[in-house]
Amino acid sequence: MGRRGLGFLIVLLVVGGLLGSLIGTALGNIWPFINQGLPPIGFETVTIDLAVIIFTFGLTLKFNVASTIGLFLALFFYFKL
């Protein structure tokens, strides 16, 4: 197959991270180590008040072992398929 674009990679990484987190949540009672979290990374929220409209921006990423495995599997499938 031909190379896919950057958009496909981003979608695949988001889906891989979300599926990893869901599986980690489901299996967290059986294997507690899978929900060990890393410190959150991101930006604090910033609010811009323009009197007519208020914008609020922020981004926080929280990773755990399961979501990290999901990200690596997504990368594997991107480069192998």
Kindly state the DSSP code that residue 28 receives in the 8-state scheme: T
The answer as to whether 20 is a domain residue is: yes
CA atoms within 13 A on the CB side of 80: 6
The answer as to whether 10 is a domain residue is: yes
The answer as to whether 12 is a domain residue is: yes
Residue with tokens 């990423």: 61
The string of pLDDT tens digits covering residues 6-20 is: 899 999 999 999 999
The string of pLDDT tens digits covering residues 59-73 is: 998 888 999 999 999
- Classified as helix, coil or strand, 81 is coil
The answer as to whether 41 is a domain residue is: yes
- CB distance 31 to 64 below 8 Å: no
* pLDDT for residue 4: 75
* pLDDT for residue 67: 92
Q: Which domain holds residue 38?
A: 6-80
The answer as to whether 1 is a domain residue is: no
